[in-house]
Amino acid sequence: MALERCRECGKDVSTEAATCPYCGVPRPTERRGATSASPAAGRDYVSRTLTSGERVHYRTRLHWISLLPGLAIAAIALAAAIALLVLAPAVTATLVAVAAILLFALIIALVEYLKYVSSEFAVTDARVLIKLGWIRRRSIEILVAKVESIVVDQPVLGRLLDYGTVVITGTGGTREAFDQIAAPLELREQVQAQIVAERGRG
């Protein structure tokens, strides 16, 4: 079994590995620009925006708790549909209403899921990369050298389940807040480590 450096994190991985065990990138030993790159890699915002020689040191995503509001609405809609069927099972208008409610529940759940899976957070040796949303996309790139502070705010439940709000302040007072981030303390530590490394290189 041969080992090569992962194109994202730079750690040694098997050439047969489907994904990197350290950073999760698909086909870790396949070089950027190869024609056989997987479709998943093509949809990866972070991978597409890396500059030459830039390496990803850490990735995270939204916490699963972010799915709960949408799932709660979908569950309420489903309960309403079941109640309508029980109260008036043979009425055509009831069946139409139930179909509309179920469609609404499906759309809500799908929108929340797409938001969850399409959001990306990464720390490289040069930047903090953030992409939120799928249809309505918001992407932010902050140079590590321009980060003045990074604050983590965790409620009690957030401490128990390991999620929280991350607030990044850049030079000039620009302030970006991101809610319900998984492992926010680890994200902060990774950004701070890259700030120290950047100052060492300078």
Domain limits, the chain: 1-28, 66-114, 122-202
User: What is the mean predicted confidence (pLDDT) over 20-42?
Assistant: 54
Contact 194, 56 (CB under 8 A): no
φ/ψ (deg, to 5) at 172: 85, 5
What residues form DSSP beta bridges with 65? none
* Contacts of range 170-173, beta carbons closer than 8 Å, 24 or more positions apart: 170/142, 170/146, 171/146
User: What is the mean predicted confidence (pLDDT) over 3-17?
Assistant: 70
Give me 38's structure tokens: 């997987």
pLDDT at 43 over 60: no
pLDDT at 35 over 80: no
User: What is the mean predicted confidence (pLDDT) over 8-24?
Assistant: 72
* Residue range 153-197, pLDDT digits in tens: 999 999 999 999 999 998 877 888 999 999 999 999 999 999 888
* Count of other CB atoms within 10 angstroms of residue 122: 25
Domain 122-202, CATH = 2.30.29
Model pTM score? 0.67
User: What is the mean predicted confidence (pLDDT) over 51-66?
Assistant: 89
131 against 25, higher pLDDT: 131
Single-letter amino acid, residue 139: S
* Count of other CB atoms within 10 angstroms of residue 101: 20
Question: Which residue is listed with tokens 């932010």?
Answer: 140
The pLDDT score that the predictor gives to residue 112 is 84
How large a percentage of the chain has pLDDT more than 70? Answer: 84
Q: Tell me the CA end-to-end span of the chain in Å, nearest whole number.
A: 39
